[in-house]
Amino acid sequence: MAQVQRPLIIQSQFIRLYCPRGDLRRPAFSRLRQYKSLHTKQVTDNDIARLATLPLHPLTLADLVKHGRPPLTTQQLLTSANFTLSILPARLAHRIQSLRNLPFIVVSNPHISKIHSNYIHSLSTLLPWAEREITTLEDEVKFTEVMADLVQTHANTISILARGFLEARKYISPKDVTRFLDEHLRARIGTRLIAEQHLALHFSSQPHNDIMHEDLDDQGFIGVIDTKLRPAKIVQHCENIVGEICELKYGVRPHVVINGEPEYTFAHVPVHLEYIITELLKNAFRATVESGMEREPIEVTIAPLPDDSAETNGIGDGDGNSNKAEARGEIKNTDQGNVDIASRTFTGHSTSPSPTADDSIRPLAHSTPGVTIRIRDRGGGISPENYAHIWDYSFTTFSEDQVSSTLSGASPSAGGGMDALNAIAGPGGDGANSLAGLGYGLPLGRAYAEYFGGGINVQSLWGWGSDVYLSLRGVGRVEGRDLDV
């Protein structure tokens, strides 16, 4: 087996990746080694083809918390590691195959080719583990190092892909790129979350007693999931960030009024909610100020979903269509980007899902609590011509000067013609300016919302304002050390 030297994630990156921001409590890590030797195995075309035929299943939040509350016992930790190992290789193989399905001139772009190489590297570090079971803590530690390497390797995937498709925009249509990115980035959410979850459980579990976790039983966290997540607190944190940038650019900032049930809590991934709320508030702040209505408050209403609700709650796909699967509490592989429909269109194959891809439905319990968050502004609404494109990855709408500015790495405030409110990093490690102005914010936010059965619906009253409805499903009732999901 070959060995490669790759830096593991340093302490500050761990805190940024696995813990919510703001004043929420964060774990303290006493020791992280800087470099490790990772065993690798050469990835062959046969390996990719074999793994890509394995069925993929929709991932639920319940899957991620089923191993129990930290600190996990040794057996629970080993079970978590083996669960992670059982599903990641096939998911990586699907991403490799998806990239290879792109037109050759597109995948030959150095940025897109780099992403392909990153997936090959990650799969090469997993293959030595693929035919075995993790049975000792020593093996679990080594496997966790592989997970840390995987997360770091793919930290900037979104911004690298964005640059690659900008450069290849002459060879692939905007519609095809939007379809491909929506599918690919949805699949990336699950792959990254699975790895992050085991990393977080590892560093908060008792068997590794050299790594201390302060007030563990009182945290409410199960890995990267906060079982006591209060949406109002996330809204307040995002308001502060967006408000400061808005004031820097415009000299004024609207204020946010939170009503409904601001004390409501449920179980979800804080960094996902933070990203979505940040994107929605950015749009509301900008529209409000630019329409001269900065004295009008932006109203955020937090409304818990009924525990036994099985009917639609009005959240759709942004085009007025109700999401019936979501209404039934169901999650499909197509919602999570697992079936590679978009990439297979480039090969001339049928666009129907592969028969080897398991598109079976894994239902959420109807008792699973969740929340609907409405963000209402008086910013004049969205013009009809723009409303049809709010879910597009709209990099192709830029002028050539703006594209050149983005490709040269100029910041939005450096005269590239892009709005400073776009210079906010999303989850997943991409830099603050790397996605600025690319129009990725809203479609990515929808992907995070829909991944676990939620959704976003935008209702615009042109000339008046907009209402945005964000719906999220939680894990379920989490009581004591037993998870009632």
Residues 213 and 230 in one domain: no
132 found inside a domain: yes
Burial label for 35, CB within 10 Å (0-12, 13-18, 19+), is exposed
Please say which residue of 167, 196, 217 terminates a domain.
217
Encoding tokens for residue 83?
């669960």
φ and ψ of 36, to 5 deg: -140, 155
- Decide: 336 and 58 in contact? Cβ < 8 Å: yes
Tell me which residue has tokens 């210079």: 423
In tens, the pLDDT along 183-241 reads 898 899 999 999 999 999 998 886 655 544 444 444 688 999 998 999 999 999 999 99
Residues 417 and 376 in one domain: yes
Residues 230 and 288 in one domain: yes
**CA 296 → CA 260, 404, 461, distances in Å?**
18, 37, 16
Residues 167 and 74 in one domain: yes
pLDDT at 60: 82
Q: Is the pLDDT of residue 341 over 50?
A: yes
Residues 236 and 171 in one domain: no
Lowest mean pLDDT among 141-150, 162-171, 406-415: 406-415
Please say which residue of 158, 192, 217 terminates a domain.
217
Specify which residues 281 forms β-bridges with: none
Q: Which amino acid is at 197?
A: Q
Residues 169 and 237 in one domain: no
- Decide: 229 and 267 in contact? Cβ < 8 Å: yes
Residues 301 and 201 in one domain: no
Which residue, 189, 193, 157, 442, is CA-closest to 337?
Answer: 189
In tens, the pLDDT along 62-107 reads 888 888 888 888 999 999 999 999 999 999 999 999 999 999 999 9
Q: How far apart are the C-alpha atoms of 141 and 130, rounded to whole Å?
A: 16
Residues 205 and 229 in one domain: no
Number of domains in the chain: 2
Residues 202 and 244 in one domain: no
Lowest mean pLDDT among 90-94, 160-164, 475-479: 475-479
- Decide: 471 and 370 in contact? Cβ < 8 Å: yes
∠ Cα 140 144 150 (to 5°): 145
Q: What is the DSSP string of 271-322?
A: HHHHHHHHHHHHHHHHHHHHTT-TTSPEEEEEEEPPTT--S--S-BSSSS-B
Residues 163 and 243 in one domain: no
Q: Would you call 475 helix, strand, or coil by DSSP?
A: coil
Name the average pLDDT for the chain: 76
- Domain limits at 459? 225-329+364-484
In tens, the pLDDT along 5-28 reads 443 433 334 444 444 443 333 333
Residues 234 and 196 in one domain: no
Q: Which has the higher per-residue pLDDT, 52 or 479? A: 52
Lowest mean pLDDT among 86-95, 112-121, 379-388, 436-445: 436-445
pLDDT at 94: 93
348 found inside a domain: no
Q: Is the pLDDT of residue 296 over 60?
A: yes
292 found inside a domain: yes
161 found inside a domain: yes
Q: How far apart are the C-alpha atoms of 277 and 230, rounded to whole Å?
A: 13
* Average pLDDT value for residue range 143-165: 90
Q: Would you call 76 helix, strand, or coil by DSSP?
A: helix
346 found inside a domain: no
Residue 438, domain CATH: 3.30.565.10
338 found inside a domain: no
Lowest mean pLDDT among 27-31, 41-45, 103-107, 108-112: 27-31
40 found inside a domain: yes
Q: Would you call 228 helix, strand, or coil by DSSP?
A: strand
Across 2-32, b (16+ Cβ under 10 Å) vs e yields eeeebebbeeebbeebbbbeeebebbebeee
In tens, the pLDDT along 377-430 reads 999 999 888 888 888 876 434 455 555 565 555 544 333 333 444 433 345 544
Tell me which H or E stretch contains 36. strand 35-40
pLDDT at 343: 66
Residue 46, domain CATH: 1.20.140.20
Signed CA dihedral, 108, 110, 114, 117: sign only: positive
Q: How far apart are the C-alpha atoms of 425 and 155, rounded to whole Å?
A: 12
Q: Is the pLDDT of residue 319 over 60?
A: no
- Decide: 204 and 151 in contact? Cβ < 8 Å: no
Q: Which segments within 144-288 are labelled E, that is strand?
A: 221-222, 225-229, 256-260, 266-268
- Look at the chain and count its residues: 485
* Average pLDDT value for residue range 262-279: 93
- Decide: 195 and 88 in contact? Cβ < 8 Å: yes
38 found inside a domain: yes
Please say which residue of 184, 217, 250 terminates a domain.
217
Residues 39 and 160 in one domain: yes
pLDDT at 220: 82
